[in-house]
Structure 1
Amino acid sequence: MKKRIWFIVLISCLLCGCIRKDMTSDSQLMDSRDVDSTEENENAKEDVAEQWEKGYDLPIDEPERKEAEDECKMILELISDIYTQADKGEAVNTVLDDKTIYKMQDRIKEKGYPVTTMKAYAAMENYKRVEAFLKNCQDEKAGSVVLYELHSDGGIGRDKFIFDGKDMYLISACATWNTNDTYGMSYISYAMIKEWKYTEKGWFGYELCVPEPPEVTEIVDGSCLVRIKPMTKEQREMSERCVQGLGYQGNNLLCSN
């Protein structure tokens, strides 16, 4: 009887030892996984912080991304009948005539959205909303505004300028038409504006944060100039006569002594 009892006790001890060993191994494995997960999270946070410091290719929140996609879709649906009926020619790359582009612009204008085109000396419609935003920025008042730009192929660009009271950011998106008259997003990006200025004459100039050497081998130009306040007929005619012929990139004739 005593031998049987001792045998049972011995078996129980061995089983307990195995269970404790398995529990210890599982615990060590879980601890190792926790350490790996923590390191991955820390590395991810460092990468995000580094990207914010660079100021370009910033992470876009899902609500902002969805808003950009939904609004681009809404604008293209608004002008879809004009695009469908337009003469697109036989070329691979569609280029719509000025009459069609301006017809699209009028349709968007009617809805109250600020909109411009890529045509030379194009007048921005509903520009006062953008101008009010920029003047508030000059007074360090936070806010945002969305500006649409019609492209020559009938696609739409959407620029959302955001000012937090100190710094300005740009969420830029583009939607284009496919060959079967459907549409889709071409790109969406988020960047900090390094510096900006709005002049009394109605020019909005800004420079985006972009990759710089040695990260890239070629200089990336992040500067942009947008005409907010429409020119008068006289101003436009004078500019076309005296400036347009010289106004190509890289020409410093008008800023040289």
Structure 2
Amino acid sequence: MIHVKETSDRTGNTGERPEAFIRNDQFNFIKDQTRILITGQATSNDAEVLNVLRHLAHEKVFKLFPSLNDEQKAVLNPLTSVKETADAEAFLEGLEPYIIPFKAVTDAALKKLFPKAKKLKGPKLESADFRKMSYLAWTESSNLMYLVYEKDGRLDGINGTLARSHKKGICSICNRHSDVGMFTAKTKGSGQDNYIKRGNYICQDADVCNGKLNSLERLEEFTDMIQK
């Protein structure tokens, strides 16, 4: 039996869905493992090699979840049966009800996170897919960027400027090759009027970044660096 819990969506409707236990970054990691299995199946006929790939994929994915119950294990076990793209698509589609959406965000909460932004417009929350987010980011006034993430169970935020470029590079958040821009933020230094600029290259498109990010480690490193 699959446990379900009653939830309320952003329109106020209530319904039942399976209890979520997979973060967006973990889902992306699992998706990466399915690609490895598909590639292995397409390039090797060695049964022993394929068995090793399946074992490693299973081990890596289960390591993401130290306290899996039998029900959750049953949800993840079909990973080792993935051989073709259709198998991966069916498996990943079956995981979607178990994805934990990004922490609920409201316009009022955003204004509290960025009190100095008097004319904050905010993102279009009604069209956002929070199950595909590890962080929320948007730009205003062409290059002013706001980034909201979860830290210690609460929402936190940083803002700065994003200098777009026409070059591809490695994003410091998702660690993937992408169209990047230099995100720079000012933080108050030790002196009364002393400000320090810190920044790094990140994906210009936050949706693309969220779709590639397969670990929260670099996101945490990036936000900690900005807020030092």
TM score, norm. by length of structure 1: 0.23
Larger radius of gyration: 1
Task: Tell me which of the two structures has the higher relative contact order, counting C-alpha pairs closer than 8 angstroms and 6 or more residues apart.
Answer: 2
Q: Which has the higher helix share?
A: 1
Q: Which has the higher strand share?
A: 2
